[in-house]
Structure 1
């Protein structure tokens, strides 16, 4: 079997060696090349069309965010970001996920760290999923959308807000038809390894390799790693990089006016791989006077969920926060479960509040979507709306089925064509508990219409 080809990008030779050694432990993968900065990464992707890329965030000349945007624009490829856990790193990682990165892992601190093997297992798992999912398609920049689409979005929000205020059914809003997820329905599957016309790398420098002479068998896993580095790249030849998601304005209006402790609806959303960009699409499309709280479980480690909440808040008309223990739940506010904690909706004499627990993982996750969904089971006085979006595995399907059997108002699964990974939505659909299958760009409008019933 011809292995999948991976490009490893990091400015540290020591770290390139660690990451490469971790990857080649699985004979499904080989290192086609390495690069020391973003400029070389772009050139390597052009030259070798790898099946996947591991990309460091902090590098000289061109950092990982800039390189990612150029790669996704010119040669869309599954990219796994390597992130530290500092506040700056978590913020940049969330940006990368919204800009089209497939996923991320925590960067190992050294080759002898206690968790190096765990990091390797996680990296290989994400690479296996990445190379078996659909090929990336260029992501449409928000800045590049036509003026007509921007106007239609603005008009749709006005219609939605007016309808909520008057409590009448709105005219169907005209939303953009172009999905903003990294994939489209006409994406193609990556060929099986045996179908790919690729071979093991040469040990000579990349720019001197003879492409016509290729070995037909991969090197043994215990072979000394000698992945080639790249020749310098002329910066003037690089594509112009425009942000896929523009930075938010520095001055934001107050978001407290729409928050109220009185509400009749509750929305719960679960997502995993591809979730940050999907959440950006949904949450930023909801109007500021959305008449329900929104509770979200995104599979993500501690610290990253806080950065996710802060970034979504900077773009959204709703107030988005990382949930806190005992926090009171109000309409017009979005609560994201903190990493390493399950989140539940609870009730007392004063109303509804957030309960965080450290109970064992469910479906391999904490927070778990099933835990959130199941906490809504006794809350029958509210109209409950559950959404499952892109992600690996089946977390959330069991909880949605139980909600469906208890008389849930709305159960939405993201349509396959807009999912980064059609795992969690597929499980819910196959469980027979979904009453709407909706492309990502239409989920927000479906939730708004559900509020009016």
Structure 2
């Protein structure tokens, strides 16, 4: 038998039909081959130890040992990148978020329940996520306990002119002034993220103080129905208020607005207020709705606010084109998550390559970096 440099995939589902369907998705794939299947969580743990796959797809809802309990044991005993398959119910959304907290790389929503005869609708998404997950470092998946830490208020500010420098000099606030940054002007924080984003957002948002003098707009690539659960979870854990954005929301300081799955998040000025506009008619951008690019481009038209733009872990390059637009219109400080802490270093890498990023920061220091640019 010849040596294969393909990534090895184990498919876990209690339905024989679903195991066959998912396995068939990878027939002829040049990057991934299915090396085995398992019918429940217990079977999966045994097969992981014997087959040593590079990546696993696993259903959340299974008898004997469900996907969540199996995932916890896998990450403890034989860590491996896992993509969860979840139903689109409220419980399914909450389970998907728990799975990522326990160490799953990402999830894919089944289009129509436990046995989805129309699973082909998510074939491209699942294949792409499996191909990327196979190369994720498991050490990045095992850090699951995020504890909010207070932000130091009046410390010196780290500012960098060279966009590719990660270790920036420590300087005082006068340096920011010289570089055209007025700390007293109105501010808005914009955050874009994808694969690995729920954990990264939890790390960042829970460290922001309730008296933050800026509203926060968030685009996290997720299907409709899942962003509400994400918002509610972050709201429970955070000092700032976190909500799923609604059409017509008037922006308030200390509130984070999460773009709903399936809708672009845009911003318009109405008199002296700033209002959220949700758009589900504009097509997905690079396959995404909500799109970070669309949010950034929309906010770039608002010229009487300074922007702090943050791009975190995720596949692809969403956000980099929008960042260019932001930088052409007014004062913008751009922060990218470092490769060291990204689950997938795609979106931040693309942003850094624009040469417009001011700071490259580990995820546990991003909240602090944001606060340095605010009043």
* TM-score, normalised via structure 2 length: 0.86
What residue is the counterpart of 1:88 in the other structure? 91
Verify the 8 A CA contact 1:263 1:331 in the aligned structure 2.
no
Structure 2 residue corresponding to 1:319, chosen from 241, 245, 256: 241
Matched residue of 1:118: which SS? Answer: helix
Verify the 8 A CA contact 1:401 1:432 in the aligned structure 2.
no
Counterparts of 2:261 and 2:140 in 1: how far apart (Å)? 30
1:277-333 CA-to-partner distances (Å, cap 9, x unmatched) read: 110100011112112111000111100111111111111111111100011110111
Return 57-66 or 20-29, whichever deviates more: 20-29
What residue is the counterpart of 1:170 in the other structure? 155
- 1:415/1:52 Cα in 2 relative to 1: closer, same or farther (>3 Å)? same
What residue is the counterpart of 1:241 in the other structure? none
- 1:137/1:396 Cα in 2 relative to 1: closer, same or farther (>3 Å)? closer
Matched residue of 1:312: which SS? Answer: helix
Q: CA deviation at 1:27?
A: 4.9
**Structure 1 position 388 matched with structure 2 position 311:** yes
What residue is the counterpart of 1:371 in the other structure? 294
Verify the 8 A CA contact 1:340 1:367 in the aligned structure 2.
yes
**Structure 1 position 128 matched with structure 2 position 151:** no
Q: CA deviation at 1:170?
A: 3.0
- 1:300/1:61 Cα in 2 relative to 1: closer, same or farther (>3 Å)? same
Verify the 8 A CA contact 2:87 2:113 in the aligned structure 1.
no
- 1:322/1:278 Cα in 2 relative to 1: closer, same or farther (>3 Å)? same
Larger Rg: 1
Which stretches in structure 1 are left out of the alignment for 5+ residues?
Answer: 144-149, 164-168, 174-261
Verify the 8 A CA contact 1:297 1:337 in the aligned structure 2.
yes
Structure 2 residue corresponding to 1:407, chosen from 317, 330, 336: 330
1:203-226 CA-to-partner distances (Å, cap 9, x unmatched) read: xxxxxxxxxxxxxxxxxxxxxxxx
Q: CA deviation at 1:405?
A: 2.6
What residue is the counterpart of 1:437 in the other structure? 360
Q: CA deviation at 1:123?
A: 1.4
Verify the 8 A CA contact 2:86 2:109 in the aligned structure 1.
yes
- 1:112/1:47 Cα in 2 relative to 1: closer, same or farther (>3 Å)? closer
- 1:416/1:344 Cα in 2 relative to 1: closer, same or farther (>3 Å)? same
Greater strand proportion: 2
* TM-score, normalised via structure 1 length: 0.72
- 1:137/1:323 Cα in 2 relative to 1: closer, same or farther (>3 Å)? closer
Verify the 8 A CA contact 1:305 1:322 in the aligned structure 2.
yes
Q: CA deviation at 1:128?
A: 1.3
What residue is the counterpart of 2:168 in the other structure? none
What residue is the counterpart of 1:61 in the other structure? 64
- Write the mapping of 1:80-229 to structure 2, written as runs, cut at 5 A: 80-107=83-110, 109=112, 115-137=118-140, 139-142=142-145, 154=149, 157=150, 160=152, 163=153, 169-170=154-155
1:238-265 CA-to-partner distances (Å, cap 9, x unmatched) read: xxxxxxxxxxxxxxxxxxxxxxxx9821
1:38-71 CA-to-partner distances (Å, cap 9, x unmatched) read: 2222222222210110111011222111211221
What residue is the counterpart of 1:184 in the other structure? none
Verify the 8 A CA contact 1:98 1:280 in the aligned structure 2.
no
Give the alignment's Cα RMSD to 1 decimal. Answer: 2.4
- 1:110/1:390 Cα in 2 relative to 1: closer, same or farther (>3 Å)? closer
Which stretches in structure 2 are left out of the alignment for 5+ residues?
Answer: 159-183
1:172-215 CA-to-partner distances (Å, cap 9, x unmatched) read: 89xxxxxxxxxxxxxxxxxxxxxxxxxxxxxxxxxxxxxxxxxx
